[in-house]
Chain A
């Protein structure tokens, strides 16, 4: 399939489209909903309405760890306007939900394990009434000591019947006795990033006459969420339908099951539509976060700086429930050495349960935390050896054919050296002294306290890698249907548009294959076959691949009669701009004519080659493919105040193939900026397990002024032969790499170790000796 895709592109590249409206692969086709989104008319879940709807509110635990002595809902039920109050007693089916692993109670019954855990839910005729009624549910707690230090989790009493150790991977690769002449050690801590979607969680549940329920949610994995909800309601999956609404931002698993499941339950109980729009506080309390991580590293190298051995211990704080922590740990352990050739690696990773807010999938999970640590180690090694940090990295980078510490051979393109050279050789940004003083943007920002004399500039590097698609034997399948009628094509695929641009890509694929410009992508619901979760570049790969196959099947159906009539194979016919022509020009007709009023349908699946779980020593071909990125960061640090401004991030990325240049650069810029947040400001702080500032004032997302100049220096288009179109996932690897690069640059500017992210101002201060 990839060969055919490649031929098709060459044709497209050779003949640039004459019309003003771009179409097909490789062009910057604008998103169909871009105008509605910029004008504010695009409907999100929070905009939904149904006649006679009730409003839901969820009562959440104010404690991080407590035993529930009693729950009294009688006062709440008696409040005027309250229509239903549900607790753990009202869950008819499975009492547990949860992504990855169902170990989370729908409602806490005996014990609460984290701040914000749902205990009861209320439906009432006004949102305020619902909130007041939720507050009127009387819960008697016996407050317990929370386990908030993941290192204590091993010794602590089990917080959950499944125990405190969620997963342990003792990876061992090579010779444990190997030793290098130079040894550097370090300990690193990564904070808790919140995905902070720009639109908080919202949903609407509508009961069905057949006893089932429809959930209108901004789910990114509708089929999995549907199965969970159906199991909790004790209904067959066919009686629960999830209709995906507009998704207001998703860099993680969107939508917290802690409100999805109660929402449907309330609709089933009351027989009325029930809506919930979470406040920002509930959003912070409800959804999962990036794993706070503690890492200890020891790198051995020879005198030339070639890595000999890496030893590491990685401890992920999974929070109260397992969620997808197992996947995050696999990525952290497998990529613990980064895109470097390391002959001997001994990596021990644990994901443990604590009473902290739960962690889960946030893009680049696992890989981001280790990247910050192994790049800090590379800086230490360079300093100890007196070698330029970029040069030291170049001596160690991996290439196609090298082996990961998991024993898996990297078979996809891995142009790491090329990426690093590209960012290293890119001209540095000018120093502010060359421009007028009033145009300087110093650390601290305009009107800030920055003083030119106290500002030091630093340049640092980061090399990152992530895996694409699910790992360790996950069945990564997607199904798509393409329908053509009256010169208009429609794509039906349950791949959720999360902002990653899938609907635009699907349109481009159909335009490319069928030569039809007008392509619509149908809204997603669970009546369609599954397309899986929208993460790790899955949909570009599997759903894009399925769309392409279906479109090709339609093409064959369309051309077969013509080919038969003219006695030539369908490969000799070409569709461009709605016209069908043969290779010799004898045949020329339009698609509409060839359709002859027919309706053509085709459904196809795409399933990448299988993977295997990591074994007891962390070995196995666990990943379908990998993507790489190099970033050079330039920062200015006010060494007295410790304020950091990221001046520029120069990035080179291995993208396989550019399918839509505008979308690609938007994804890269967004990813890099999310990384700036991890590096400098984003950390959801807790005190004894309680989230301290669950709001966007206390949790600082990067603003336009915090975002640096982002220079996409090079996009290496070396096709990945196993991927549809040869394209790689592009969103996650900039998130993984930019925090490491920024930390490296702050290290260069200040000489401080910078072993903790986000970088606190006091860690970037240089005190006079």
Chain B
């Protein structure tokens, strides 16, 4: 039974040789390659993409490798901002020279997984994958970073990272994330991540907090608890007023606690009353998550101000 020969030589799988791989050396070449083969998928570190390929969930018709584009593997300075190449690896961002520049992004890069992942995974990939647990995302949200998108014909446009993560603006066909524009704030920044284990793991909740002394502001984003990083704007503004910016950024200890609670309740609000008027309670796991966010936010502000 069952021994049917397929039509001569025909199988349901595409031969390996048909997979075209392009390795452009400039951003514009990469954009051109994408435009030439609309079915092509760009790949940088491949830490998400290749896992999907290996498990059979994705069979790209062609690949455009971004690893040889040297212009996006470093960074440059531009009127008080750093222009970070999307091809910067987590390992590179974790190094001390980068940490002196943007400490929170460096901390998130060091926490982004085991060394193998950090060596391959890139900043741009973290944004493009937009996984809720992406460790760079809350930091970029707190920094209010913007993305420089490279398009066909040398076109460049700039969109806030939050717009892309929230789906308000999308990457169009043939576009690539070229650079990430991040303000240089010259003030303490903290990234804290709770994983529930000692070894590298996906974030249960993370908090990025940056101080902006020039504008006397505190900016905070909570990652991993929602599909995109959450900004507790009220809590930020409230706590910024309690900081004595001229006196060593002093704050009363009670304010740290209150800030933590404020952030946690803003991100995980109490469930509204049900139709019959009864007040529901969150399940214990959600309450634990809220406590975790509160502790992370309190610790993050404490460390930033200490």
Q: Which residues of A are in contact with B by a Cβ distance under 8 Å?
A: 73, 77-86, 90, 125-126, 128-129, 131-132, 269-270, 279-281, 441, 443-449, 451, 454, 640-643, 645-646, 680-681, 697, 700, 702-706, 760-762, 765, 767
Contact = CB atoms under 8 A, between A and B. Distances in A.
A86 B197 contact: no
B13 to A, nearest CB: 4
Given A77-B4, A703-B114, A761-B292, A449 B299 contact: yes
A680 B197 contact: yes
Contacts of A132: 12
B28 to A, nearest CB: 35
B186 interface: no
Interface stretch (B68-76, B272-280, B283-291): B283-291
Given A448-B195, A704-B199, A82 B288 contact: no
Contacts of B204: 761
B110 A279 contact: no
Nearest to B135: A447
B258 to A, nearest CB: 14
B1 interface: yes
Nearest to A270: B3
B111 A448 contact: yes
B285 to A, nearest CB: 7
B11 A445 contact: no
A90 B2 CA distance: 10
7 contacts: A79-B6, A126-B11, A279-B55, A444-B195, A454-B295, A640-B291, A703-B199
Contacts of B292: 641-642, 761
Given A80-B7, A82-B4, A84-B1, A700 B198 contact: no
A705 B199 contact: yes
Contacts of A705: 198-200
A646 B193 CA distance: 19
B231 interface: no
Contacts of B107: 447
B138 to A, nearest CB: 13
Give the residue among B12, B193, B195, B288 with the most A Cβ atoms within 10 A.
B12
A128 B56 contact: yes
Instruction: Label chain B's interface by main secondary structure.
Output: loop
Nearest to B4: A77
Interface in B253-306: 284-285, 287-288, 291-292, 295-296, 299
B198 A80 contact: no
Contact of B11 (A125, A270, A279): A125
Contacts of A281: 55
B239 interface: no
Give the residue among A85, A641, A681 with the most B Cβ atoms within 10 A.
A641
Contacts of A447: 107, 110-111, 193
Interface of B: 1-4, 6-7, 10-13, 55-56, 107, 110-111, 114, 192-202, 204, 284-285, 287-288, 291-292, 295-296, 299
B11 A441 contact: no
Contact of A445 (B197, B284, B295, B296): B197
A762 B192 contact: no
Contacts of B114: 703
B107 to A, nearest CB: 6
Contacts of B10: 80-81
Give the residue among B197, B201, B202 with the most A Cβ atoms within 10 A.
B197
B194 A641 contact: yes
Contact of A706 (B13, B198, B202): B198
A722 to B, nearest CB: 42
A501 B176 CA distance: 52
Contacts of A131: 56
Contacts of B11: 80-81, 125-126, 129
Nearest to B260: A640
Contacts of B194: 444, 448-449, 641, 643, 761
Contacts of A279: 55-56
Contacts of B195: 444-445, 448, 643
A444 B295 CA distance: 13
A270 to B, nearest CB: 6
B196 A681 contact: yes
A705 B200 CA distance: 8
A90 B1 contact: yes
Contact of B193 (A73, A270, A449, A640): A449
Contact of B2 (A81, A84, A703, A761): A84
A83 B2 contact: yes
Nearest to A85: B2
Contacts of B201: 700
Contact of B202 (A269, A443, A697): A697
A441 B198 contact: yes
Contact of B288 (A84, A90, A761): A761
Given A77-B4, A447-B111, A449-B299, A128 B12 contact: yes
Contact of B12 (A79, A444, A702, A765): A79
A107 to B, nearest CB: 14
Contacts of A90: 1
B94 to A, nearest CB: 9
B243 to A, nearest CB: 20
A448 B194 CA distance: 7
B200 A449 contact: no
Give the residue among A269, A447, A767 with the most B Cβ atoms within 10 A.
A447
